[in-house]
Amino acid sequence: MKIERDQVHILSGIRWGSTLGGPITLQVPNRDWENWKATMSVGPPEPGTTQKPVTRPRPGHADFAGAMKYGHRDIRNVLERSSARETKGVHDEILFDAESGFRRLTNNAGGLEGGVTNGQPVVARAVMKPLSTLRSPLKSVDLATKEAVEAVVERSDVCAVPAAGIVGEAMMAIVLAGAFLEKFGGDSLEEIRRNYDTYLASLKTW
């Protein structure tokens, strides 16, 4: 990018072009930060200044899901958390009506935007590598005699896809359950359900 003209500054660890054996400290100052000091200030805004909140989430990014997840009414706080590269550029338009609330007509992103689930069904795609043992052995070499031979044929499943499907579903359930408990976990099912119901109720305030 044309504005990216930053250069690295070596602060320590090198003398006269040679390393000293200690830690090397490199600094790349963000020159664009000057343009965002007020907008992204750590402290409160300067007196008399106003910052217009960002309220238009971009489909395909973590804007909408991130704002709801972390409770930010100003989407600026989550704009740079993730980019569309994590969703491979697929987009699902965001719609709203008073009866249904926020909704999507498509789920091209597979339930994830910018690495954050967006309320749509999570779609996982899995593949299997070919089975290692073949019924028709390939050419090999006997390690003892160095002669050309056919590889040993061990037992091999005719088709492991059905079994792998069961394993895949089980692992998906474990991963989703872990993520669910990380968000809503408690010491009892009643507490977990209460945490979950409270979260759903908070989403209705948007």
3 state DSSP class of 125: coil
Q: How far apart are CA 44 and CA 65, in angstroms?
A: 26
- Residue appearing with tokens 């759903």: 200
Q: What range defines the domain where residue 90 resides?
A: 53-123
- Could you tell me the pTM of the whole model? 0.61
Q: What is the pLDDT of residues 13-59, one digit of tens each?
A: 999 999 999 999 999 988 778 888 888 888 888 888 777 889 999 88
In a domain, 128, yes or no: no
Tokens matching residue 153: 């044929």
Q: Do both 34 and 77 map to the same domain?
A: no
Q: What is the pLDDT of residue 138?
A: 86
State how far the Cα of 34 lies from the Cα of 41, in Å rounded to an integer.
11
The HSE-up count of residue 175 (CA atoms within 13 Å, CB side) is: 8
pLDDT, tens only, 52-111: 889 999 888 888 888 888 889 999 888 865 554 554 556 899 999 988 889 999 999 899
CA–CA separation, 91 vs 107, rounded Å?
A: 8
Q: What is the pLDDT of residue 3?
A: 63
Q: Which two tokens mark 159?
A: 């088709």
Q: How far apart are CA 4 and CA 182, in angstroms?
A: 39
Decide if 3 is inside a domain: yes
pLDDT above 70 (res 8):
yes
Q: Is residue 132 part of a domain?
A: no
Task: Return the higher-pLDDT residue of 156 and 137.
Answer: 137
Residue corresponding to tokens 């070596």: 10
Q: Are residues 24 and 66 in the same domain?
A: no
The stretch 117-133 carries a mean pLDDT of 84
Buried b / exposed e along 41-54 (16+ C-beta atoms within 10 A)? eeeeeeeeeeeeeb
Per-residue pLDDT reduced to its tens digit, 129-147: 877 777 788 899 999 999 9
Would the pLDDT of 176 be above 80? yes
How many domains does the chain fold into? 2
Residue 126 phi, psi dihedral angles, 5° rounding: -130, 150
Co-location of 59 and 116 in the same domain: yes
Q: Are residues 47 and 57 in the same domain?
A: no
Considering only residues 136 and 166, tell me which one the structure prediction assigns the higher pLDDT: 166
Instruction: Check whether residue 62 and residue 117 sit in a common domain.
Output: yes
